[in-house]
Structure 1
Amino acid sequence: MRVLVLGGTGSIGSAVVRELIERGHELFSLARSEASAAKLRQLAATPLAGDIGSPEAWTARLPRIDAVIHAACDFNTDMGAVDRRLLDAILPALARQENRPRFIYTGGCWLFGATGDGGATEETPFRPLPAFAWMVPQIRRVLTSSDIAGIVIHPAMVYEAEGGVFRRFAGEARDGEGVRIVESEAVRWPLVHSEDLAALYALALERAPAGSSYIGASIEGFSVGRIARAFARRFGKPDQAPQILSADAIAAELGEWARGYALDQRLSGAKARLELGWAPSHLDKESEIAAVSG
């Protein structure tokens, strides 16, 4: 398939680009700088000049494509408005394509709120973090549009060899007085390695029926305290205890979206395993942390 990836140089998107190229698909991706274009060419993808914040220009000149994977988000205060403008421009452009394209939209684990021990599945009603409430109508729009075959992936907390969601943890464990975590060591995060998540996007692209949603969680819930202490051991500080921040403190530092770090969650990836044959391979999180680059 000819696939356009939005966010193709990001943590999720670059892994998706690599996975799809390995599977023989032809990849295109937006590039808003020459550095981004060069990175995409190194991955064997074709860069298209453009920015998700100004979609009208590049959606008017889309090549023939069979699918779009939307994995772009900048976490700014206007991210909801940017995303609405993007869909306003790209959905009519896709309607003009020769065949009905597939469109994979990226949701997120923080749309399910704090789940506690009960956990969440794709059937669980959304209770979104306020900073991401704008995403719920966007998901409905994608899944109900007749112009596309809409599919939604809800990634868990994504990490990779270079860090991903753990990047700050690695830096603080190496250089600081302890990894900073929010509210409690007992808070659990659902986790997924970027390579496993990319495999899920590929399977959804190739097999998922229109109108379906999947949670990308390879580990349902893992204590953030255990993560912090594993990083302390990784950098030779086995007795270093985590620093506890309040949700208000992390929101003041990073933005309201960062309150998600305080959500105690368990999310199930069973549907993706059963329906798509998803088989994550990165399952020993503490061993993976030991290999994270500093």
Structure 2
Amino acid sequence: MNVFIIGATGFVGGHLARHLIAEGHTVTGLARTESAALTLRARGISPVAADLDTRRAGAVEAALRADAVIYAAQADPEHETATVADLTRALRGTGKTLIFLSGSGVLMQRTAGAWSPDTFAEDDPFLPEPLAGSRKAAEDTVLAAVAHGTRAMVVRPGLIWGPGDHGHMSMIYQSVAVVGAAAYIGNGLATYGHVHIDDVTRLFGLALARGRSGGLYHAVAGETPNRWIAERVAQDLGVKARSVTLEEAEQVWGPFGALIMAASSRIRAVAAHRELGWQPQHADMLTMIGDQRLRALATPSP
């Protein structure tokens, strides 16, 4: 299959491209710059010179040449909305596959660092997070394309972890550099469902192979409250773990980071298990404790 990935130079898109190539697919990827194109070529990915702003038409043309399109970019809401609208319009009646990477942030709950008893399967109703309104609208646009002859799906993972400094683990290591302690907000029981990047890419592969048109698939393997992460980071570094207020958290992680660290987002992957037979192979995010790249984040900048 010829798969066009929008976001192939990113964390998820890059891992996804490597996984699909290993499965025997041909992969093309959007490249906004010549340096990005060189990176993609070195990875065995054919670059498409385009972007999601002034050269979006090039991305749409590449989508029409492909058998399947995966949107895995982290774009601003305006460009994401416009790109999804253009893609779904162009792919009408083609029968081609379009898979949109979303995230469980669309249903996160602002709990001020506290636990939430609520957990959501794919078909469960929820009140969308206001700041993620455009992302939820993009999901809806993709799924509505099924009625117009597109094999469209949405993959909605929890917090994605894996090699590199991504997500809550890295943020808590970073907090040590700022406040000298592994920080969490409030009572520290805010919890995001999490999933390893390799399990996410396997889910995409399964969705490409046998996903249902109109399917929405969650990806989650476990969940760990932020205070538990902070206590393990503190133990690793020989510092204390401590609670910070929302105001202090903004000084540590910025307004958006503080919002994420104070929220709960708990999901269940019922449809992914039942329809695709997906089973995660990495369930313990705390295995990353002690990673040298993460430890380096705890060192204050000179």
When normalised by structure 2's length, the TM-score is 0.85
State the match for 1:153 in structure 2. 155
Query: Match of 1:85?
Result: 82
How far did 1:159 drift? Answer: 1.3
Deviation of 1:27 after TM superposition, in Å, equals 0.5
Farther-moved stretch of structure 1 (150-159 vs 267-276): 267-276
Q: How far, CA to CA, are the matches of 1:248 and 1:150 in structure 2?
A: 42
Q: Secondary structure at the match of 1:61?
A: helix
Contact 1:282–1:288 (Cα < 8 Å) also in 2: no
Verify: 1:113 aligned to 2:90, yes or no. no
**Moved >6 Å (runs of 4+):** none
Give aligned pairs, total: 285
- Equivalents in 2 of 1:140, 1:260: separation in Å? 23
Give the AA of the match of 2:211: A
Q: For 1:149, give the aligned amino acid.
A: R
Q: How does 1:1-294 map to 2 (within 5 A)?
A: 1-59=1-59, 61-62=61-62, 64-74=65-75, 79-95=76-92, 99-114=94-109, 116-145=116-145, 146-165=148-167, 166-173=169-176, 177-219=180-222, 221-234=223-236, 236-237=237-238, 239-246=239-246, 250=250, 254-256=254-256, 259-291=259-291, 293-294=293-294
The one-letter code of the counterpart of 1:210 is S
- Which structure 1 segments of 5+ residues have no match? none
Residues 178, 20 of structure 1: CA spacing in aligned structure 2 closer, same or farther, 3 A cutoff? same
- Matches of 2:199 and 2:12 in 1, distance apart? 10
User: Residue 112 of structure 1: CA displacement?
Assistant: 1.7
Matched position secondary structure for 1:47 = strand
Tell me how far apart the structure 1 counterparts of residues 194 and 60 of structure 2 sit (CA, whole Å): 37
Q: Confirm or deny: 8 A CA contact 1:160 1:194 kept in the other structure.
A: yes
Give the whole-Å Cα distance in 2 for the aligned partners of 1:285 and 1:56: 37
Offset of residue 104 of structure 1: 0.6
Q: Secondary structure at the match of 2:264?
A: coil
Matched-pair contact (CA < 8 Å) for 1:113–1:126: no
Per-residue deviation, 1:5: 0.8
Measured after TM superposition, the shift of residue 35 of structure 1 is: 2.5
Partner of 2:188, secondary structure, is: coil
Compared CA separation, residues 194 and 251, structure 1 to 2 (3 A): farther
Q: Give the Cα–Cα distance (whole angstroms) in 1 for the partners of residues 192 and 82 of structure 2.
A: 31
Deviations 1:156-191 (A, max 9, x none): 011112121133333344675123333431111111
CA distance in 2, matches of 1:251, 1:131: 20
2-side partners of 1:117 and 1:55: how far apart? 45
Q: Deviations over 1:239-280 (max 9, x none)?
A: 421442417953996455852332223211233122212121
Residues in 2 aligned to 1:59 and 1:107: alpha-carbon distance in whole angstroms: 19
Whole-angstrom distance in 1 between the partners of 2:201 and 2:292: 19
Which ranges of structure 2 fall in alignment gaps of 5 or more residues? 110-114, 295-302
TM-score of the superposed pair, with normalisation by structure 1? 0.87
Post-superposition CA distance 1:185-239 (Å, at most 9, x none): 11111111111111111111111110010111111x31111112222333x32x4
Q: Deviations over 1:52-107 (max 9, x none)?
A: 23353313532621111111123xxxx222112112322233338xx421111122
Deviates most, 239-248 or 120-129: 239-248
Give distance in 1, aligned partners of 2:14 and 2:208: 16
The alignment partner of 2:74 has SS state of: coil
C-alpha change, 1:35 and 1:95, in structure 2 (3 Å) is: same
How far apart in 2 are the matches of 1:261 and 1:103? 31
> Larger deviation: 207-216 or 248-257?
248-257
Residues 281 and 80 of structure 1: CA distance in aligned 2, closer, same or farther (over 3 Å): same
Per the TM alignment, residue 38 of structure 1 is displaced from its structure 2 partner at its CA by 2.2
CA distance, structure 2, for counterparts of residue 258 and residue 26 of structure 1: 40
Is the Cα contact below 8 Å between 2:188 and 2:243 reproduced in 1? no
- For 1:210 and 1:188, locate their aligned partners in 2 and report how far apart those are by CA, in whole Å: 31
- Aligned in 2, Cα 1:162/1:252: closer, same or farther, shift over 3 Å? closer
Structure 1 residues 100 and 247: CA distance shift in structure 2, 3 A: farther
Distance change (3 Å), C-alpha of 1:242 and 1:30: farther
* More divergent stretch after superposition (23-32 vs 115-124): 115-124
**3-state DSSP of counterpart to 1:86:** helix
